[in-house]
Chain A
Amino acid sequence: MSEEKLVLENVSKSFGEGENAVVVLNDLSLRVKAGELVAIVGPSGSGKSTFLSIAGALLSPSSGRVIIDGDEINKMSPGQMNSIRLKKIGFIFQSANLIPYLTVRDQLLLVTELEGNRNKEAKKRADDLLEKLGLAHRKHHYPESLSGGERQRVAIARAWMNNPEIIFADEPTASLDSERGRAVVQMLADEVKLRGKSAVMVTHDQRMLDLCDRVVWMEDGKLVESNSVQV
């Protein structure tokens, strides 16, 4: 257990080689403590998605260090990164991205299935999570019959299923109206506090920022910390 769940030090990422190289992230640093919900805000093209991919162990940086819960992942092989994602990271994607042919409960059980320990205890954990997020009555429904807000709540439940140290959310409110969007982010913030874990949310939805502990602005591949939550 580390106090700082996510550390990025001087991380750069560029695509292409030589003269054609495009620098997407430029010497970027960030520290996220336990119990913190950090929002990353910026215009499109500022490198938010790349940032999320690198912090979320989906992509390796060109230079710099990425440490998740004490494990330095910037030198890991794709297979090791895979297992870090499975054990320590929870993802909430834009528009939920649930698997269409799994019921709500199976969406959660899938995570434990991938870990290779889908058992009684996992089933109980899934039921508890669904209960907590107000989805118990939807347990045996398929995503197609859920509302947008419900789907995003299932995605949150799925992200917590492996009891991760940190959650990455990619525009979780993009497909929701303001009221439902706030409810979803509130839920995320509450869970983070309660469990003493961390969350990083990439968003351009500025209505949600007051729910976050910290807001970081991103522009041209750099992060600018802002202590006030004013917009």
Chain B
Amino acid sequence: MFLALRELKHAKLRYLLIGVIMVLIVWLVLFVSGLAKGLSSDNASAVQEMKGNYVVLQKEADQRLTRSVISANKTEDIQQLSGKKNAEPLGVMMTAVINEGKQKKIDASFFAISTSGFLAPNVIEGKMITDDAKHEAVADSSLKEEGVKLGDTIKDTASGKSFTIVGFTKNQSFSHAPVIHINLTEWKTIESTGAFNAVVLNMNDKKAHALQKKGSNIDVISKDEALKGIPGYQEEQGSLLMMIAFLFIIGAFVLAVFFYVMTLQKMNQFGVLKAIGAKTSYLARTILSQVVVLTLCSLAISIGLTYGVAAILPDSLPFYLDLSLIAGCSALFVAVSVLSSLLSLYRVAKVDAVEAIGRAV
């Protein structure tokens, strides 16, 4: 650290410039990561938050929840095969609703669930509906932003059915629209065939695989796979993930090139240092600590900037950054920067102390 810190101090401008580039890259990484996470939750939090680990879909549905149709009979078959407690039917309908007395249409998704089963969402305000409640529903709290209040009545524009909002849930959205949970009785009134989209399973891997073999014309997939089948989910996440990956690669290259050029510039100096008795390991530690100090400082500033920007972002922008995401990104960045300094370390190892003799530089 003796040499590392003194050089950082002396060549402030150089290291400041590379530091600024790093800050910008890390900032963008964190921002895009937050956006990816936010969008993912905006798109699918109702499925992500759902208890249960496997989803049964129709074989022909191409693993897409919205395309799948599982008849009432089939649902009972599956429930019988896997135990009634471990399998819950799920009806999904994407539609638009009108808050009664107003004109504006609001996008929403109906989720039909058994209110006493494991798919029932947590209610944060008001009360939960019961299995035999009529004309009642609980809605995601983001509907409040559209002016929906407890006790309001909303009307489904597709079926014409009306529901009174008796409670609000949190983090329940599907395909970027708030989810309105209704019970299975009401589901039959808006979906005349009584068929569901899926059966959600809460069981271990072995049992799920067994069910796949036993059942006919069904596809048992994990919850993660089901997420990918939500319209636009994979495309959204894929493109953002690619951006993040590229940013990491760019960051690695920028650092690698910078330190490599710095090292080439200092070859003669390293020769002198080795001649007066510096070990390669000492010089390697010097470079590594410079890389790590620079990365950690950039990370700290970037995290600060990201939180700063997050604080002034409008609430409607899906942005979600948690500690584990930041910690993960930071750890990955430190690892990447250490890796990128290997090229420089290789050059330092190759420096011959003899080069210091007979040189007038």
- A contacts, CB < 8 Å to B: 48-49, 52-53, 56, 58-59, 79, 82-83, 85-87, 89, 91, 93-95, 97, 99-102, 106, 109-111, 113-115, 118, 142, 158, 162, 170-171, 174-175
Within 8 A of A (CB), among B1-59: 2-3, 6-7, 9-11
Known contacts A49-B358, A99-B272, A101-B11; is A118 also within 8 Å of B6 by CB?
Answer: no
Given contacts A102-B3, A106-B2, A111-B276, 10 further A-B contacts (CB under 8 A): A53-B357, A58-B275, A58-B357, A89-B277, A93-B275, A93-B359, A97-B269, A111-B277, A113-B2, A162-B277
Q: Which chain A residue lies CB-closest to B278? A: A114
**A86 contacts B277, CB within 8 Å?**
yes
- B contacts, CB < 8 Å to A: 2-3, 6-7, 9-11, 268-269, 272-279, 282, 353-354, 356-361
Return chain B residues, CB-CB under 8 Å to A85.
275-277, 353
Return chain B residues, CB-CB under 8 Å to A142.
10
Known contacts A85-B275, A85-B276, A110-B3; is A94 also within 8 Å of B358 by CB?
Answer: yes
**B356 contacts A91, CB within 8 Å?**
yes
Return chain B residues, CB-CB under 8 Å to A49.
357-358
CB distance from A173 to the nearest CB of B (A): 12
Q: Which chain A residue lies CB-closest to B361? A: A95
Name B273's contact: one of A56, A79, A94, A99 (CB within 8 Å).
A99
CB distance from B200 to the nearest CB of A (A): 63
**A101 contacts B7, CB within 8 Å?**
yes
Return chain A residues, CB-CB under 8 Å to B276.
85-86, 91, 110-111, 114, 158
Q: Which chain A residue lies CB-closest to B272? A: A97
User: What's the Cα separation between A167 and B105 when bound, in Å?
Assistant: 90
Name B357's contact: one of A82, A109, A170, A175 (CB within 8 Å).
A170
CB distance from B16 to the nearest CB of A (A): 15
**A94 contacts B277, CB within 8 Å?**
no
Q: Which chain B residue lies CB-closest to A96? A: B272
User: What's the Cα separation between A59 and B352 when bound, in Å?
Assistant: 10
Name B356's contact: one of A87, A93, A158 (CB within 8 Å).
A93
Return chain A residues, CB-CB under 8 Å to B269.
97, 99-100
User: What's the Cα separation between A113 and B360 when bound, in Å?
Assistant: 26
Give the most central of A56, A158, A174: most B CB within 10 Å.
Answer: A56
Name A175's contact: one of B2, B279, B354, B360 (CB within 8 Å).
B360
Return chain B residues, CB-CB under 8 Å to A100.
10, 269
Return chain A residues, CB-CB under 8 Å to B6.
101-102, 106
User: What's the Cα separation between A16 and B279 when bound, in Å?
Assistant: 27
CB distance from B359 to the nearest CB of A (A): 6
User: What's the Cα separation between A158 and B276 when bound, in Å?
Assistant: 9
CB distance from A68 to the nearest CB of B (A): 13
Q: Which chain B residue lies CB-closest to A52? A: B357
Return chain B residues, CB-CB under 8 Å to A56.
275, 357
Known contacts A85-B277, A114-B276, A118-B2; is A97 also within 8 Å of B10 by CB?
Answer: no
Q: Which chain B residue lies CB-closest to A59? A: B354
CB distance from A138 to the nearest CB of B (A): 16
Q: Which chain B residue lies CB-closest to A87? A: B277
Name B282's contact: one of A93, A102, A114, A175 (CB within 8 Å).
A114
Return chain B residues, CB-CB under 8 Å to A53.
354, 357
**B360 contacts A174, CB within 8 Å?**
yes
Return chain A residues, CB-CB under 8 Å to B356.
58, 91, 93, 97
